[in-house]
Amino acid sequence: LAKTTQPISMDSYEGQEVNITCSHNNIATNDYITWYQQFPSQGPRFIIQGYKTKVTNEVASLFIPADRKSSTLSLPRVSLSDTAVYYCLVGGMNYGGSQGNLIFGKGTKLSVKP
Amino acid sequence: DAGVTQSPTHLIKTRGQQVTLRCSPKSGHDTVSWYQQALGQGPQFIFQYYEEEERQRGNFPDRFSGHQFPNYSSELNVNALLLGDSALYLCASSLGWEGNTEAFFGQGTRLTVV
């Protein structure tokens, strides 16, 4: 499974756009890229998933360059409630890991300030 | 529609004791996975149950065992507790064990071993 590298932490202010980049140099041809969000003392929550180019939903956008060796999660106009840990996962099956086994790294702790 | 529910929410045990954690999957889901999350770390996969059988297992000792019931609910058992077993234990449910559907996580059980 491809290893991922993310910044340990990021700070932002309310109303700003936040971009979190994840490196996955060894991504395989059949790997999808999935992002999860986790608030303290809660389980992770699926945000977005993509394979290539750009994916957008009501919560975020995911940008994946042609070589797929990195991806960027973009959160538009963050609010205090977006303060959480964001995990980038790369796996061989749609929606996460190979055969349902999700491989989490340490994630990026995003702190949004007023 | 109830999501994934876990019980208890918090638990304190003494080193050497045994503990059982419980999980009810999201309605319509038939696969349950368990994760251990130490403080400041990402969740680590313990094992996955589908059709009442353990289908996959992560790098955890035999002290960690589980069970899935005909109604798809699941239990995680940990024997001979160690101080290092203190963590947030997360249950995730999905449809099918191949990993190609979104996983939904519960709030977790906070286990403290003293």
Tell me the per-residue pLDDT of A53-73, one tens digit each, with 9 for 90 and over: 999 999 999 999 999 999 999
For the cut 90, the answer to whether the pLDDT of residue B96 exceeds it is no
Q: How far is A56 from chain B (nearest CA, A)?
A: 17
- Identity of residue B33: S
C-beta separation of A63 from A71 below 8 A: yes
Q: How does DSSP assign A54-66, residue by residue?
A: EEE-SS-EEEE-T
Residue closest to B27 by CA, chosen among B60, B71, B58: B71
Interface test with A, best of B54, B100, B104, B107 (most A CBs within 10 A): B100
Interchain CB distance below 8 Å, B108 and A104: no
C-beta separation of B107 from B8 below 8 A: no
Residues B5-20, mean pLDDT to the nearest whole number: 98
Euclidean distance between CA atoms B109 and B107, whole angstroms: 7
Q: What percent of chain B has pLDDT over 90?
A: 87
Residues B58-72, mean pLDDT to the nearest whole number: 97
C-beta separation of A60 from A73 below 8 A: yes
Interchain CB distance below 8 Å, B43 and A44: yes
**pLDDT band with cut points at 50, 70 and 90 for residue B103:** confident
Q: pLDDT digit string (tens) for B13-45? A: 999 999 999 999 999 999 999 999 999 999 999
Residues in chain B closer than 8 A to A98 (CB atoms) = 99
Higher pLDDT, B97 or B88: B88
Tell me which residue in A43, A87, A97 faces B99 most closely, judged by beta carbons. A97
Euclidean distance between CA atoms B29 and A101, whole angstroms: 16
Residues B89-114, mean pLDDT to the nearest whole number: 88
What pLDDT score was predicted for residue A32? 87
Q: How far is B47 from chain A (nearest CA, A)?
A: 8
Q: pLDDT digit string (tens) for A10-47? A: 999 999 999 999 999 988 888 889 999 999 989 999 99
Residues A77-93, mean pLDDT to the nearest whole number: 90
B47 touches chain A (CB under 8 A): no
Interchain CB distance below 8 Å, B94 and A102: no
